[in-house]
Amino acid sequence: MNRKSVIFAIIIMSIALIGLMGIQIYWIRNATAVKESSFRNAANDVIRQVIAKIERLEKKKALEVNPFEGMLNFTRHLPYEGFITVQGLDSLISYELSQKNIDTKYEFGIYKPETETFLLERSSRYRKDLKEKGYANLLFPSDIFTTPEYLLVYFPHEKEFLLTELWSMILISMTLIIIIVYSFTYTVTTIFRQKRLSEMKNDFMNNMTHEFKTPISTISLACEALSDKDVLKNGEFYRNYINIIVEENKRLAGMAEKILQTAVLDKGQLKMKRENINLHDIISDVIKNIRIQVEIKDGMINRNFTATQPVISGDKVHLTNLIYNLLDNANKYSIRKPLIQVHTENTSNGILITIEDNGIGISKMEQKKIFDKLYRVPTGNIHEVRGFGLGLSYVKAIVEEHEGKINLESEINKGSRFRIFLPFGDLDENNKFKTSIWRKTKSKYF
Percent of residues, the chain, with pLDDT higher than 70: 77
Are 232 and 303 in a shared domain?
Answer: no
CA 335 to CA 261: how far, in whole Å?
A: 29
394 found inside a domain? yes
**Do residue 241 and residue 324 come from a single domain?**
no
Q: Please indicate, yes or no, whether residues 283 and 250 belong to a single structural domain of this protein.
A: no
> Do 144 and 261 share a domain, yes or no?
no
Nearest to 342 by CA among 402, 288, 399: 288
**CATH number, residue 414:** 3.30.565.10
Please check whether residue 412 lies inside any domain of the structure.
yes
pLDDT score recorded for residue 423: 92
Average pLDDT over residues 372-380: 58
Is the same domain home to 326 and 298?
yes
How sure is the predictor about 413, in pLDDT bands with cuts at 50, 70 and 90? confident
Of 242, 266, 290, the one marking the end of a domain is 266
Q: Could you give the residue ranges of the DSSP H alpha helices within 152-234?
A: 158-226, 229-233
Q: What pTM was computed for the model?
A: 0.49
Question: Based on the domain organization, do 236 and 284 belong to the same domain?
Answer: no
Give the residue-averaged pLDDT of 210-232: 71
One domain for residues 289 and 435: yes
| Among candidate residues 100, 135, 156, the one where a domain is terminated | 156
Distances (CA, A) of 194 to 1, 186, 368, 398: 10, 12, 18, 26
Domain-ending residue, one of 93, 124, 156: 156
Q: Where are the beta strands (DSSP E) in 41-116?
A: 107-112
Residues 261 and 313 in one domain: no
Are both 188 and 261 inside the same structural domain?
A: yes
| DSSP H stretches of helix in 66-149 | 67-72, 86-99, 127-133
Q: How far is CA 91 from the centre of its chain?
A: 54
Residues 300, 218 share a domain: no
> What's the average model confidence in pLDDT over 180-207?
74
User: Mean of the pLDDT values across residues 46-69?
Assistant: 78
Residue 445 lies in a domain: no
pLDDT tens, residue by residue, 149-177: 888 999 998 888 888 877 877 788 788 88
pLDDT band at 440 (very low <50, low <70, confident <90, very high): very low
In a domain, 232, yes or no: yes
Query: What's the CATH number where 203 sits?
Result: 1.10.287.130
- Give me the domain span that covers residue 329: 270-440
- Looking at the structure of the chain, the number of domains it has is 3
Assess if residue 446 is contained within a domain.
no
* pLDDT for residue 379 is more than 60: no
User: What's the pLDDT score for residue 225?
Assistant: 74
267-314 pLDDT, tens digit per residue, is: 565 677 888 999 999 999 888 888 878 888 889 999 999 999 999 999
